[in-house]
Amino acid sequence: MPKLSNMSYKNQRILIIFLFSLVPVALLLTFSYLPVFKMFQYSFTSWDGFSKKMEYVGFENYKTIFTRPEYFAVFKVSLYYFFATFVQMGLALYFATILSFNVRLKNWFKGILFFPTLLNGVAIGFIFLFFFKPEGTLNTILDLLGLGAWQQKWLLNPNLINISLAFASVWRYMGMNFIIFLGAISSIGSDIYEASEIDGANRWHQFRHIIIPSIKRILQLNLILAVSGAIGVFEIPYVMTGGSNGSGTFVIQTVDVAFKYSKLGLASAMAVVLLGIVVLVTILQRVLIKEEK
């Protein structure tokens, strides 16, 4: 092998650009772009994932998704998680704001609020299974507070199950939003606060006119992530309920359709629809952000 240092820098440059991008690009094509292409292809077939030949069925799979209510119902479940994201971001913004000013035991509070985000998703599923059990933590606490009448079968009542699951999801991801907001707020120079205080601004004014405008982009980014996050919910409901009792999400359904019922064509069409929604929301968001500027 010729020594690199004997080559001219021009040739070295070509070689190193080629070599350094070879593996990443190969992985990118194989695991990001090829699947998208294949997914579109499968979505027009009735392939089961095993047989040698794929039968082309046109838009049959798409028709199934949009006409059969059992396939479309999962989007309603996503709405619970979507609304929960607003609660989650509101809480995160509140805690990030007060913890970016002087507070006693600041680092302790920061650590405790952030820690749940680092936990294993399966562990969180179990923790909340335990929390929502009929004889579990939540009902015991309610009893202790004299609110025994509010006790519920949190995961058995079809009206409450998705709210309970979305609550677990808020618990899990709040810390993530919190730490991002905290980072963004801490990048605001302290002189701006001082100047505003001289002008007689109180905390609310500072929040409204300094903090919110400076973290606007991150708020918007989090909103985009909220949509794809709400549709991509998998672990918590899968571990806690297996998707039963009306708590099945889009991903649970796709996994079931593809791997349990071997309807790969249909599952691919579902994935295409999902991708379409996410892309649409992203474009919409981009356009809206641009218009504001």
Which position among 142, 214, 234, 285 is part of the footprint of another protein (CB under 8 A)? 234
Q: Does 23 bind another protein (CB under 8 A)?
A: yes
Least separation in angstroms between CB 79 and another protein = 18
Radius of gyration for the alpha carbons in the chain, expressed in angstroms and rounded: 25
Residues 288 and 293: their CA atoms lie apart, in Å, by 9
Residue 117 near residue 172 (C-beta atoms within 8 A) = yes
Residues 293 and 275: their CA atoms lie apart, in Å, by 28
Residue 267 near residue 250 (C-beta atoms within 8 A) = no
Residues 109 and 92: their CA atoms lie apart, in Å, by 13
Least separation in angstroms between CB 131 and another protein = 5
Least separation in angstroms between CB 117 and another protein = 8
Segment near another protein (CB under 8 A); pick from 13-21, 65-73, 76-84, 152-160: 13-21
User: SS3 helix, strand, coil % of the chain, rounded to 5?
Assistant: 75, 0, 25
Least separation in angstroms between CB 123 and another protein = 5
Residue 178 near residue 95 (C-beta atoms within 8 A) = yes
- CA angle 190/192/197 to nearest 5° reads 100
Segment near another protein (CB under 8 A); pick from 8-16, 53-61, 68-76, 149-157: 8-16
Q: Does 119 bind another protein (CB under 8 A)?
A: yes
Q: Is the Cβ of residue 47 or residue 80 nearer to another protein in the bound state?
A: 47
Which position among 45, 239, 243, 253 is part of the footprint of another protein (CB under 8 A)? 239
Least separation in angstroms between CB 135 and another protein = 7
Tokens describing residue 75: 């989007």
How many residues bind to another protein according to rule CB under 8 A? 94
Segment near another protein (CB under 8 A); pick from 80-88, 118-126, 155-163, 193-201: 118-126
- Which helix (H) or strand (E) segment is 127 a member of? helix 121-132
Q: Does 121 bind another protein (CB under 8 A)?
A: yes
Q: Is the Cβ of residue 39 or residue 223 nearer to another protein in the bound state?
A: 39
Q: Does 230 bind another protein (CB under 8 A)?
A: no
Q: Does 258 bind another protein (CB under 8 A)?
A: yes
Q: Does 140 bind another protein (CB under 8 A)?
A: yes
Contact pattern for another protein over residues 188 through 227, marking x by CB under 8 A: ---------------x--------------x--x------
Q: Is the Cβ of residue 7 or residue 147 nearer to another protein in the bound state?
A: 7
Q: Is the Cβ of residue 126 or residue 150 nearer to another protein in the bound state?
A: 126
Q: Compute the residue count for the chain.
A: 293
Task: State the residue for tokens 């302790």.
Answer: 108
Q: Does 103 bind another protein (CB under 8 A)?
A: yes
Q: Within positions 53 to 72, which residues make up the interface with another protein, using CB under 8 A?
A: none
3-state SS, one letter per residue, for 160-199: CHHHHHHHHHHHHHHHHHHHHHHHHHHCCCHHHHHHHHHC
Q: How many CB atoms lie within 10 A of CB 177?
A: 25
Residues 209 and 224: their CA atoms lie apart, in Å, by 23
